[in-house]
Amino acid sequence: MVIDQTILRDAESLWDYHRLGMALEQADAIVGLGSYDPRVAEHASDLFLGDWGQWLLFTGGIVARNDLLKTPWDGAEADVFGAIATARGVPRQRLLLEDRATNTSENLRYSWEILARSEIGAQRLIIVTKPNMERRVRATARVVLPSHISFVVTSSPSTFEEECLSRFDPVVLINLLVGDLQRIEVYPTFGFQASERIPEHVRDACRRLIASGFTKHLIRDQDRPLAG
């Protein structure tokens, strides 16, 4: 698939929308969401070591996928991320692992169950995810977490150019950007996420990307709203 400048401009519009740029706030616990991207573990660990939180929790089970979200390892995501954290100097006694979750909602629900059962008394969270997942994670947390919990969603510092032109296959990343936007539109109808406003220029960019063939991360029976 040819990635021309028009496609890159539309993809960057989606990238900018998915990124939130929330300011960090001191937290009781830092929660790193498991995924294919080990930089989540690295960034969450660095935040912990920078004294942004008292505890570090990683969440993610063994997710058997053959799609764009497939991980390069066979073990539980939480275990892999936990090993990265301890290698970076995070004390094991300050590390919590949740190894059952298989999606974002479960990541947050099961993490909160661990924190609620513990004596940590976590009322303030920093949630670390991939750059292109920030908005979806915030929308999910607004539904899953108790209303009295305050949280910030963040990701490792990165630009669209770094992600799309250096770190990842641009075809894979653009497919993920499109699929995540569709989920932001569709999931609130199922109660999976809170609603998020999608600006019309972002919708238009997504429609053009779908028309160009970036459909591999779409929910197949729900692709008509953004496909037009």
What is the assigned CATH class of domain 20-154? Answer: alpha beta
Q: What is the pLDDT of residue 64?
A: 65
**Rounded to an integer, what distance in angstroms lies between the CA atom of residue 134 and that of residue 16?**
10
Give the model's confidence band at 221: pLDDT under 50 very low, under 70 low, under 90 confident, else very high: low
Look up the pTM and report it. Answer: 0.93
Q: How confident is the model at residue 66 (pLDDT cuts 50, 70, 90)?
A: low
Within 13 Å and on the Cβ side, how many CA atoms surround 3? 15
Q: What are the residue ranges spanned by the domains of the chain? A: 5-17+159-227, 20-154
Mean pLDDT of 57-78: 83
Pick from 88, 109, 136: nearest CA to 31: 109
Percent of the chain topping pLDDT 90: 80
Average confidence score pLDDT of the chain? 92
Question: In Å, how far from its chain's centre is CA 223?
Answer: 21
Four-point Cα dihedral 32, 59, 34, 82, nearest 10: 80
Question: pLDDT class for 169, splitting at 50, 70, 90?
Answer: confident
What average pLDDT score do residues 137-141 get? 98
**What pLDDT was estimated at residue 227?**
35
pLDDT at 222 over 70: no
